[in-house]
Amino acid sequence: MNTLREYRQLFILSLKGLALELCDICGMKPAKYECRLCGRKVCEEDYDHEKKLCKVCSSALCEICGKNLSIGYCMVCGRSGCEDCLIQVSTVSYVCKECIRKGRYRLARKTVS
């Protein structure tokens, strides 16, 4: 049995002979744009024109480079970062390359015996 969400996603509006999909985020308004990162089809309200992203990807974007989706936060400066901008320093902690470069955090060096 299909869920309401599945029905909503499958539902197509017909307006003057044009078939329009509903927004993948709100599910209420016609989708006019496609997110360049995730491919969601979204309405005007759920699209960030400046970044050309859906609101979900826009809010999860790396605060350091602004190109990729973030994977965590720098434990020194608190900014969200992506795999390219963060270095994992423990199983659950990251530090951004900028904080390391500026000497705000020093990586532990492994010694070989």
State mean pLDDT over 11-31. Answer: 74
Does the pLDDT value for residue 105 go beyond 70? yes
Judge if 55 and 10 occupy the same domain.
Answer: yes
Judge if 50 and 81 occupy the same domain.
Answer: no
Q: Last residue of a domain, which of 59, 89, 105?
A: 59
Judge if 66 and 110 occupy the same domain.
Answer: yes
Judge if 8 and 52 occupy the same domain.
Answer: yes
Mean pLDDT (the chain) is 86
Rounded to 5 degrees, φ, ψ at 7 are -60, -40
Judge if 66 and 105 occupy the same domain.
Answer: yes
- How many structural domains is the chain composed of? 2
Instruction: Say if strands 18-21 and 12-15 run parallel, antiparallel, or are unpaired.
Output: antiparallel
State mean pLDDT over 23-41. Answer: 95
Judge if 36 and 74 occupy the same domain.
Answer: no
The pTM score is 0.70
Q: Which residues contact 61 (CB under 8 A, 6 or more apart)?
A: 51, 53, 67, 68, 69, 70, 80
Q: Which domain holds residue 49?
A: 4-59
Give the pLDDT confidence of 33-84 residue by residue, as tens digits.
999 999 999 999 999 999 999 999 999 999 999 999 999 999 999 999 999 9
